[in-house]
Amino acid sequence: MALTTTYNIDKKAFKDILELEKKIQEFQSGKIDAEKFRAFRLARGVYGQRQDGVNMVRIKLPFGKLSPEQLICIADISDQYASGNLHATTRQDIQIHYVKVTHTPEIWARLEEKGITLREACGNTIRNLTASYMAGIDPEEPFDVSPYAAAMFKYFLRNPICQELGRKFKIAFSSSEKDSAFTFIHDLGFIPKLKIEDGIEKRGFKVVLAGGLGAQPFLAHPAFDFLPEDQVVPFAEAVIRIFDRYGERARRHKARLKYLVNDLGLEKFLELVAGERMAIKSKSFKVNLSDSPLCIIPPVFSKKDITPVNKEKYEKWLRINVIEQKQKGFYGVHVKLSLGNLSSDKARSFAEIAKKYASDDIRITVNQGLFLKYIRENVLASLFNELDLIGLADPGFDTIQDITACPGTDTCNLGIASSTGLAEELERVLREEYKDLVSCAHIKIKISGCMNACAHHTIANIGFHGMSLKQGEYVLPAMQVLLGGGPRGNGEGRLADKVIKVASKKAPDVLRYLLNDYEEHASEGEYFNDYYDRQGKNYFYLLLKPLTVINDLTQDYFLDWGNNSQYQTMIGVGECAGALIDMVALVIEETKEKLLKAEEAFGEGEWVDSIYYSYSVFINAGKALLLTKDVPANTQYSVLNNFEKLFIESGELDFHGSFKSKVLEINQNEPTKEFAKEYMQYAANFFLNVVKFRSKQIIKI
């Protein structure tokens, strides 16, 4: 297996791809085990599917930005190596499915030629950085956050501080106080702000941190009301360093930043972050706004009297899917994708339409749609006609009829009940029974196949997540119903309440009960969440309770939505984070790789990176010996404390001075060439001593 073509791509990217190819060969030949290979491939965007022998490839698109040419490239790759479908995600990625692992190096190379990466798309890394899709054209934005999001993405790509975190880490930028990027559910969230100092307008951000969804959701904490723009990247780096050092690693379900901040307290956590500032690469990081390429705006078309092919549909589309930009004379157009899916043929056709009528800056939205910018008013009817021809002009973007759903049991190992099948049924119910709600934008429905909330069901007005339900001696596919979630604005939000559990086949009736009750009893102009608050959780529990009673247990209850075979709970090993590798030999081998990276970074003059790799040598080598004593190594900080006590203070291993103090010199020194060299030499000597010590242990055994 080898790359079949010479590719014109970045040197670092090509090195990544060759490394992936090498690891695949080593895995297939048995040189590395499945767990180590899993951790490696996840950080390169290759995610195991529910089906044996195939993978999902997650294509990382920072803040959902891609060009028509990039979209065509992805469509061509999906045809050749995957299922011919492109799936847009709530993190503004595109996923392709049913890919053989041996094809992933070539897929990656072809993407890199178009400026797209797979690096750190999955695993215990900084996941795809999201941002408001309207950034740059939002009439309510203080300034365009896109350059800041792009700069942060570039800063952390391949950065050694975030390659092997305890768990995934998510960052979002919203364009305005409406918080359309949902910063309140992120590890780090940024909302743009302006203030006047000495008569000068200055840019900055409100910062929130340690939010997250999943089985135990947390709302983010406010950290700064105004953090100057040049401090955004330095603050993020310091936060990630502290998360890396103190974050849980053994108990995966407790390894997110939200748990660390909850345990330490916000004040203590921010103190640790402040103490880390000396060691970071940039004390100030000013984003060069001129580095951001300008949108290529389409040419002026001569005025033509174009008649929409379907005038009634066009009027609805114009009212719901089209918005006026802050740039006078231009419009943005939302494109609703059913379940976030786009066939490769439609993707290519859409890309050609975008080239003709819009700028080259297509955005994927956080609710699994597409967005076009810089469209002139006189071509809206023509654009509608061409979109309608390929089935992409449905009104109702981001309304009740635009349901967000993850792939669930279709492909994901963690899926418990079908999310996509139910979403299709609910969209049918809404389309046929509630036609007047096509423009209702204050009720959002979101469905996840499990509790992990990839479809954001926890912040839905009406949310569902997959589960199973015991009915006597039988097990049925089921849904947990959640109500009352959503953004409040300016970095604040509300989490939906878990109200009741019902069999999946009862979920459409749940929707009917809720909408009929709301229509009958809500006050004039009362939003759904306000109505939910007024009535209270117990009111809705009692309203829906009759749906939990199944008097006629027919075969239909055992068939999940969109499936013809009897339901079985088939939960596999989740790959939302990398595997935890605790075998001593493997850890020592990984430590050797870290030392080589430290030496390589030093040779390239990257002092900060070299220092962090050297720090990783200390931590990993210490962890390896602690594992020989069956001592927990849940966090890097516990490694320092336990190794000091069990190996240094006991005299079992020779080390001049305090091991813990030496390692923590990382945040007590400026990252100079001199310190990087000294620190690396200490790490190398320590590693050699650990290898010798382990060799003696093995001989004794």
Task: Concatenate the DSSP letters of all residues of 116-160 into one string.
Answer: -B-TTSSSSSB---EE-TTTTT-TT-SS--HHHHHHHHHHHTT-G
Residue 574: per-residue pLDDT: 54
Q: What is the 3-state secondary structure (H, E, C) of 396-427?
A: CCCCCCCCEECCHHHCCCCCCCCCHHHHHHHH
Residue 579: per-residue pLDDT: 41
* pTM of structure: 0.92
CATH of region 311-389: 3.30.70.3340
Residue 243: per-residue pLDDT: 97
Give me the phi and psi of 498, to 5 degrees please.
Answer: -75, 120
Sorted by sequence, the CB contacts under 8 Å of residue 560 that are 6+ apart come out as 409, 417, 418, 421, 477, 504, 567
Digit-coded pLDDT (tens) for 317-360: 999 999 999 999 999 999 999 999 999 999 999 999 999 999 99
Closest by CA position to 440, among listed 359, 511, 345: 511
Q: Distance between CA 329 and CA 176 in Å, rounded? A: 21
**What is the topology classification, in CATH, of domain 584-700?**
Four Helix Bundle (Hemerythrin (Met), subunit A) (1.20.120)
Residue with tokens 């809500």: 522
Q: Which CATH architecture has domain 404-558?
A: 2-Layer Sandwich (3.30)
Sorted by sequence, the CB contacts under 8 Å of residue 212 that are 6+ apart come out as 170, 185, 186, 187, 218, 256, 257, 258
Same fold, 130-291 and 311-389: no
Sorted by sequence, the CB contacts under 8 Å of residue 294 that are 6+ apart come out as none
Residue 281: per-residue pLDDT: 87
Give me the phi and psi of 23, to 5 degrees please.
Answer: -65, -35
Token pair recorded at residue 213 = 């969804």
Q: Distance between CA 621 and CA 691 in Å, rounded? A: 8
Digit-coded pLDDT (tens) for 454-470: 999 999 999 999 999 88
Residue 578: per-residue pLDDT: 45
Task: Quote the CATH superfamily of domain 130-291.
Answer: Sulfite Reductase Hemoprotein, domain 1 (3.30.413.10)
Sign of the alpha-carbon dihedral angle for 361, 366, 368, 369: negative
Instruction: Provide the residue type at 29 as one letter.
Output: S
For the chain, list residues with pLDDT below 50. Answer: 1, 577-582, 701
Sheet holding 462-471, edge to edge: 404-405, 445-448, 462-471, 474-483, 497-503
Q: Distance between CA 13 and CA 19 in Å, rounded? A: 10
Token pair recorded at residue 370 = 């597409």
Beta partners for residue 169, in sequence order: 126
Give me the phi and psi of 224, to 5 degrees please.
Answer: -140, 140
Domain coordinates of the chain in residue numbers? Answer: 11-113, 130-291, 311-389, 404-558, 584-700
Residue 2: per-residue pLDDT: 61
Beta partners for residue 66, in sequence order: 362
Chosen CATH of 11-113 out of 3.90.480.20, 3.30.365.10, 2.10.240.10, 3.40.50.970: 3.90.480.20
